[in-house]
Structure 1
Amino acid sequence: MKYILSIILFCSIQVSAQIKINGKVTDSNKKAVQYANIFIVGTYDGGTTDTLGNFSFMTYEVGNQLLKITAIGRESKSIPHDLSHNKPLQIQLQEQAKQLDEVVIQAGLLQAGDKVKNTVMTPLDIVTTAGSMGNIFGALATLPGAQVAGENGRLMVHGGSAAETQTYINGIRVPQPYTSSPNDVPVRGRFSPFLFKGVNFSTGGYSAEYGNALSSVLILNTANQIEPNKTEISISTVGAGLSNTQDWKTKSLTFNTSYTNLKPYSKIITPNIDWTKPYENASGELIYRQKLKTGFISTYAAFNFEDMGLYQKNSNYTHPIAIKKKAYNSYFNTDYQQNLGGRWDMQSGIGMGYLNEKLQANSMGMPHQEIAIHVKEKFTKSWNNRIKSIFGIDYFYTDFTQDFTSPSTRKEVSSASSIAALYTETTYAMNNYLIAKLGIRATSSTAEPFLLEPRFSLGYLINPYNQLSFTYGDFHQQGSQEILIYDQQIKWQQAHHYILNYYYEKKGRTLRLEAYRKTYDHLIKYDTPRINSSSIFTNTGTGYAQGMDLFFRDNRSIKNLQYWISYAYTDSKRNETDAPFSVTPSYVFKHTLSVVAKYWINALHSQVSLTNNYLSGRSYHDPNLPSYTQRKTDAYNTLSANWSYLISQQKIIHISVNNLLGSSPIYGYQYADHPNQQGIYNRIAITPSAKRFVFVGFFWTLSSNKKENQLDNL
């Protein structure tokens, strides 16, 4: 009986020692948070909030304890609490921030990828767009803010020249992204489109990770995955190609080779080029991928040989000039990515490019060589779901040599430059609706010992489908090799970007509106009509570019039809090169409009694609008239079409026609350096190298799963 009384007494003491913990959980707007869990860390004591956010539970614990509060969609919270203070708790939980990788600030950015949420194009779109002919730069020309001049095929962005855009593969710079060609004949991208699973195309305000580009960067990314065994064969009206991939579970090796010769094609469809040796190209690519336990290695090597000869008209000569051109280009890129633990990641990479181009014009020779190296080291740290930082260092080395030869003389000029850069950038999600990115890049070179470039972006998510964003940045770029061979101390040019963007994406429809202002300082000027050894260079040039872009895409309204409409308005004036005052550059189109439509015809196992491009006239200088840059070319319109027919899942016939209606645009005029006997400057119109281009190809894929095809290579 005595023991029973003792137990009853002990239990009564314990019951009387229980402590009640109660309070309320709300959000930042003081609204109740339902079904939140509150418990004492290290115990089973806890409770759950009701519909009013109130909670209450009992505990035998005493003294200072750690309370943890969790709720779905909220940031968890831990607070110290002295149980001797028996007052109701007022606890506030913040909304859980989205993963930073899921949020993209849209200002100044166009994305293409299968796994990226906010994309305006997929990789399949890039290579199946009519008129692109499988050329990445040609497809990008249908996006807002991008322009490609018909006479050279190079990418220009927001009123900037083609030299103001840099190209990167896996974060490593590509020194020579274009093929070689004679003057006023369009070039193409050097790299096969199927290599890239993601594309980030900047229209300005790009990340502090990249530099030495006044207007834009084009970032091409390969997939970090092992490719399956397959063989791909292509035969077309301009050449043939063969590709093979071997897969060993954790590693794969792909070899791709192609050969192009326009001689047979030129006999069927006569171009506006007087070939003495039609264009010939032989290229090879090697891609090695290996998956490691906590990392990935990707290595890419490419070789390209080009040979051509033609007679080219020149306004300074009575008879056409005999042009011969050979180019040898090789490029190597290796990228190593490693997870270091503790939410740290590392990327190490190196890229090396070599170009040897031999140009002969009548008896004059103008060969040049370029060796370019880029070494990159980058670290990424995810501090938590809200904050992510990158830290990196870049080193660039370029050696360029230009020869001038004639039967009696030879002159060699060269330049060598070393550039080092440090950068850091942090992205911070202040809450689920507001995200900021702050970066800075410091660059040092011989001509500019210290350049500092701040970058800032802010994105506001109105709701899951709408975003407003703003970007500002300072950007610098050194002079072209054509200038550096005469003056290696010329200062870097500068641009300031201001971009305001609205982005909407919901249920297969995308709307993108962007307004921008870009101001230029320290642009390079010279006192001769053409750059030569007697030219005097200064950094007294200024300028601006401003305008707006519109992009609308619809994949849903009509079954099997996807289309997009892209419009850009560009207003630009620059005082640069030998211009006496600020003028609209000759490479700027004030208005561009692209309409792209793709329709899948199920009964015919076919995809039909149409692209219509409208481009307004461009300014040009007529020396026969007073003043400067007084005239404009006529606007023009081109329509292109593709048809892809699937004979079977792995066999495709592809037909593509550029400039289907045979329009005859004039891109500009080439004027003689001196007037003729009548005092008139002779001129030659710059027109397309062919009225239309027709491509017919057969593509066959051999793979074990019988599902792979080359539809995304077309």
Structure 2
Amino acid sequence: MKNYLLILLLFAAAPTLAQTKISGIVTDQKGGVLPGANITLKGTYDGTSSDTQGNFAFETDETGSQVISIQALGFKTQEINIICSGNPVTLKVTLPESINLLTAVTITAGAMEASDEKKSVVLKPLDIVTTSGAMGDITAALLTLPGTSTVGNDGRLFVRGGDASETSIFIDGLQVGNAFGSTASNVPTRTRFSPNLFKGSFFSTGGYSAEYGQALSSALALNTLDLPLRNQGDISIMSLGGGYTQTLVGKNNALTASGNYYNLAPYQSLVKQNFDWEKSPSSWDSEISLRQKWGNAAKGKSGFIKAYFHTEGNGMAIWQKSPGNDLPGNDGRGDRIELHNRYSYGNVSFRHSANKGWFFYGGAAFSHNRDKYNINREPIRQINQIAHSKIAAVKDFTPQFSLKNGLEWYIKSYSEALISQNLKRKYTDHQLNHFVEATYYFSNRLIMVGGLRTGYSSLSKQMWVTPRFSVAYKLENQGQFSFAAGKFKQLPEEKLRVLQTNLKNGEATHYILNYFIVNNNRTFRAESFYKTYDNLVTYQGLPTAPANITQNGAGYARGFDFFYRDKTTIKGTDFWITYSFVDSKRRFANYETKVQPSFAPRHNGSVVIKHFIGKLKSQLGSSWSWNSGYTYNNPNLQGEMQSKTKMYSDLSISWSYLPRPNIIIHAACSNVLGRSNVFGYRYATQPDETGFYASLPTGQQAKRFAFIGLFITLSKNKDANQLNNL
């Protein structure tokens, strides 16, 4: 009986003897306490939560080796091995912050993200096609963003004191050669590609990634759509022409094919032109896009491949008066310039998620541009070709650290010929590039990116190394500061390299400080920048016949800009306001001193407003763009670039109406006030008998440009229209 009672007492006492008290405190990496952390003994129901001071305590009947798990929202889970033997266990736990890419800080210095995947969207394709004055042109819409300058007689992208040739354009990571349509001097051009192709863009105003090179000022990376929403046909009937697009969508693939024809002759016969057209511009284009998805994302292996091909042709003939130099037999009309252009661009790109966190992407692209000019009946042919291939690998080695590593190969060729004289000159250049870029998140508030790009040109026999660096810190109020710096190289334009093939890289160094905040559908961005130039090309004589080409040029561009966008304050209204100040001077081309370039007005601004009226099924839009005027060189005065035009101003309006869900009517008019904008003056090459150089102003084609279009979508879904994929 005594033995039986002893056994009962031992069993009753056993839980008390084996019970272990576990206590401690939970803090973050800075020593701050973490209330509400969950502390559990893995595989059991034993555990507790930390109090307001970060302290915790609980008891367990488990014995032997055990694992304590500590979890807190926004922090990485920690697991600690302990021994439960009845003796108290005291812990001091430090939880590192976990990185949440949706809420973590992002680099914004010099970057304008515009894609569905990014939290801080600036411009979507839908914004581009509905911005008044842009007329559906990607570049024209981007000119309403900070850091850009409107150069009305050109139409390309001019960024922060840089020439348009200093901006490179990429589609799905692959460079596009001759992305703007060929045109005559002082006749503005536009991008060759429709914004309907793209799901978003990355527009850099400087300090961009080591992945992009051969651009002193800017990179514009456009990303095409993956899979469209549905099968549909889109008909476009416009005042300038028309077209048709057919989209076929499968479960994991899609095909889109389109064709368009444009002719400005009917329009220009109705609207008085300031240009003397012999043959109004006309063009056609066709393109096809294939997309294929593969793999199983759930198993960590998936990918996407895209193939895209675009071809087009255009032509025009124009007479341009030459100040003080009328040729005999031309009735005072000046120089006759006839142009026929053929252009093709194609690329194949892929992206693939592989095992162990590896991600691969790349592809190959080819651009071919042929211009046939007849200048005063003298035939000239120019051919420009670019082949580009790329492969890159990305891996997140830890939640904080990722590395991108890539190789690129370019083949660039250019030729020009005087057909009647049987004269030809050309070159071919092979360029090999390597880029590596590391990203490290110190926390959700602090990120640093460092990159290095190297390159080699077989033609110039030059190797280069360009480091890039950026860092960003997020504040308590969701705003953040970013800083970026880096070196950038670019070989001179092909028309100079074909004259002197050993020309080396021009150089630029960027420094950018940025503040950025997005809150409640309001975006504010303020940025200051400083950029230096070295090894710019200089020469003597006219740009059409440069002599004594050297690379003694240098300069700088500095300034600041602001951007504010608001979709909340006024109901049904989206508007943004932009202002940029650029102080730029450089010695380049045939200038003997540092001058303010004609393409870099000091003050630039824009206001864009879009208001939707539900009862009228309409969106009304307006945009106002202005700058402080363009510098120009007046040979009748002492010095260089010593004159400036009056302020440039353009007020545009638009109206989009949906009479039915699948029908859109869009009308727009630029420069509705009819302001006579002058972009500069052309002067005679020789003075008259009094020593005076005659001049002619360079102005707009017409005071206003009006557009109207009817867009019809045919599909099983009667509510579908051409805006659905944007």
**TM-score using structure 2 length:** 0.94
Question: How far, CA to CA, are the matches of 1:692 and 1:32 in structure 2?
Answer: 65
1:32–1:305: structure 2 CA closer, same or farther, 3 Å change rule? same
Q: Which amino acid aligns with 1:164?
A: E
Q: Structure 1: how far apart are the matches of 2:670 and 2:501?
A: 42
- Asked whether the equivalents of residues 662 and 721 of structure 2 are also in contact (C-alpha less than 8 Å), the reply is yes
What's the CA shift for 1:316? 5.9
Match of residue 249, structure 1, among 248, 251, 257: 251
Question: Which AA in structure 1 matches 2:10?
Answer: L
Answer yes or no: is the 8 Å Cα contact 2:341–2:369 preserved in 1: yes
The residue aligned with 1:353 is 367
Residue 411 of structure 2 corresponds to which residue in structure 1? 397
Residue 514 (1) aligns with residue 515 (2): no
1:460 is aligned to: 473
CA distance in 2, matches of 1:521, 1:442: 18
C-alpha spacing 1:464/1:286, structure 2 compared with 1 (3 Å): farther
2-structure distance, mates of 1:444, 1:467: 37
Residue 259 (str. 1) matches residue 272 (str. 2): no
Call closer, same or farther: CA 1:405–1:101 in 2, change over 3 Å.
farther
| Secondary structure of residue in 2 paired with 1:472 | strand
User: For the residues of structure 1 that align with 2:519 and 2:527, how far apart are their CA atoms?
Assistant: 18
CA distance in 2, matches of 1:537, 1:42: 78
1:75 paired residue number: 76
Amino acid at match of 1:303: T
Alignment check: 8 A CA contact 1:127 1:712 kept: no
Paired residue for 1:652, among 664, 676, 679?
664
Q: Say if 1:494 and 1:523, in contact at 8 Å, map to a contact too.
A: yes
Residue 10 of structure 2 aligns with which residue?
9
Q: Distance in 2 between matches of 1:423 and 1:42?
A: 47
Alignment partner for residue 662 of structure 1, among 671, 674, 679?
Answer: 674
Matched with 1:472 is 485
Amino acid at match of 1:365: P
Q: Shift of residue 36 of structure 1?
A: 2.1
The residue that corresponds to 1:308 in the other structure is 316
Partner of 1:50: 51
Q: Report Cα offsets for 1:429-461 as digits up to 9, x if no partner.
A: 211211111111111113253211111111111
Counterpart check, 1:482 vs 2:490:
no
Q: What is the Cα deviation at residue 53 of structure 1?
A: 2.3
- 1:34: Cα distance to partner? 2.6
* Aligned-pair CA distance for 1:296: 0.8
Q: In the TM superposition, what is the alpha-carbon distance from 1:703 to its structure 2 partner?
A: 1.8
Judging changes above 3 Å, is the alpha-carbon distance between structure 1 residues 448 and 616 closer, same or farther for their aligned structure 2 residues?
farther
Please tell me whether residue 24 in structure 1 is matched to residue 25 in structure 2. yes
Aligned pair in 2 of structure 1 residues 576, 592: CA closer, same or farther (>3 Å)? same
| Equivalent residue letter for 2:637 | L
Aligned to 1:373: 387
Q: Is the 8 A contact 2:713 2:721 kept in 1?
A: yes
CA shift, 1:410, in A, is 2.5
Aligned position for 1:160: 162
Cα pair 1:178 1:190 within 8 Å, conserved: yes
> Which of 430, 434, 437 is matched with 1:425 structurally?
437
* Cα deviation, residue 553, structure 1: 1.4
Q: 2:39 corresponds to which letter in structure 1?
A: I
Say if 2:708 is the partner of 1:696. yes
* Contact kept in structure 2, 1:128 and 1:712, CA below 8 Å: no
Indicate the residue corresponding to 2:590 in structure 1: 578
- Contact kept, 8 Å, 2:227 with 2:249, in 1: the verdict is no
1:299 is matched with 307
1:43-89 per-residue CA deviation (whole Å, 9 max, x = no partner) reads 66544323432223445666765533212222212344466785521
CA distance 1:48–1:712, shift in 2 (3 Å): closer
Q: CA deviation at 1:42?
A: 5.9
**Aligned partner of residue 604 in structure 1, secondary structure:** coil
Do the aligned residues in 2 keep the contact of 1:228 with 1:245 (CA within 8 Å)?
yes
Alignment RMSD, CA only?
2.1
Cα shift readout 1:479-518 (whole Å, capped 9, x = no counterpart): 1001110112111011111111111221122111111000
Cα 1:279–1:37, aligned 2, differ >3 Å: closer, same or farther? same
- Structure 2 counterpart of 1:67, which letter? I
Aligned counterpart, 2:358: 344
* Secondary structure, aligned partner of 1:309: strand
1:658–1:694 Cα contact (<8 Å) kept: yes
- Residue in structure 2 matching 1:220, options 197, 222, 227: 222
Give the counterpart letter for 1:573 in structure 2: K
Residue 615 (structure 1) shift: 1.4
**In 1, Cα distance between equivalents of 2:502 and 2:65:** 68
Q: Which runs of 5+ in 1 are unaligned?
A: none
Change (3 A) 1:536 1:83: farther
Q: What secondary structure is seen at the aligned counterpart in 1 of 2:678?
A: coil
Change in 2 beyond 3 A, CA 1:204/1:464:
same
Task: Verify the 8 A CA contact 1:344 1:379 in the aligned structure 2.
Answer: yes
Pair 1:321-2:335 in alignment? yes
3-state SS in 2 of match to 1:536: strand
Change (3 A) 1:101 1:50: closer
Q: Given that residues 114 and 123 in structure 1 are in contact (C-alpha distance below 8 angstroms), is that contact kept between their aligned partners in structure 2?
A: no
Give the counterpart of 1:145 among 138, 144, 147. Answer: 147
Q: Can you list the C-alpha shifts for 1:106-125, whole angstroms capped at 9, x where unaligned?
A: 11011223442112223211
Find the residue that maps to 2:269 and give its secondary structure: helix
Q: Which of 236, 239, 243 is 1:237 aligned to? A: 239
Distance, in Å, in 1 between the alignment partners of 2:600 and 2:54 is: 61
Q: Say if 1:619 and 1:630, in contact at 8 Å, map to a contact too.
A: yes
1:635 aligns with 2:643: no
Counterpart amino acid of 1:221? Answer: N
Kept after mapping to 1: 8 A contact 2:234/2:712: yes
Shift of 1:249: 1.6
Give CA-to-partner distance per residue, 1:660-703, whole Å, 9 cap, x none.
Answer: 11111110111222223332222221111122111111111112
Matches of 1:403 and 1:595 in 2, distance apart? 45
Amino acid across the alignment from 1:299: A
Report the counterpart of residue 273 of structure 2 in structure 1: 271
Indicate the SS of the match to 2:149: strand
Larger mean CA deviation between 226-235 and 199-208 belongs to: 226-235
Tell me which residue corresponds to 2:282. 280
Deviation at 1:558, TM superposition (A): 1.3
| CA contact 2:103–2:444 (8 Å) conserved in 1 | no
Aligned to 2:518: 505
Query: Unpaired runs of 5+ in structure 2?
Result: 296-301, 327-331
Give the residue type in structure 2 aligned to 1:341. N
Partner in structure 2 of residue 34 of structure 1? 35
Q: Does 1:492 align with 2:500?
A: no
1:108-167 residue CA offsets vs partner (Å, 9 max, x unmatched): 011223442112223211111110010000011111111131001011001101000000
8 Å CA contact retained: 2:37, 2:70 = yes
Aligned positions, number: 711
2:163 partner letter: S
Map of 2:329 onto structure 1:
none
Which residue does 2:560 correspond to in 1? 548
1:89 partner SS? strand
1:80 and 1:239 map into 2 onto residues whose CA distance is: 74
Q: Distance in 2 between matches of 1:706 and 1:463?
A: 47
Distance between the aligned counterparts of 2:59 and 2:22, measured in 1?
6
- Equivalent residue in structure 1 for 2:201, among 182, 199, 208: 199
Residues 285, 303 of structure 1: 8 Å contact kept: yes
Of residues 104, 107, 110, the one that matches 2:106 is 104
Do the aligned partners of 1:668 and 1:685 also contact (CA within 8 Å) in 2? yes
Task: Give the Cα separation in 2 of the matches to 1:162 and 1:290.
Answer: 35
Q: How much identity, in percent, do the aligned residues show?
A: 38
Once residues 100 and 395 of structure 1 are traced to their aligned partners in structure 2, the CA distance between those partners, rounded to angstroms, is: 34
> Secondary structure of 1:305's match?
strand
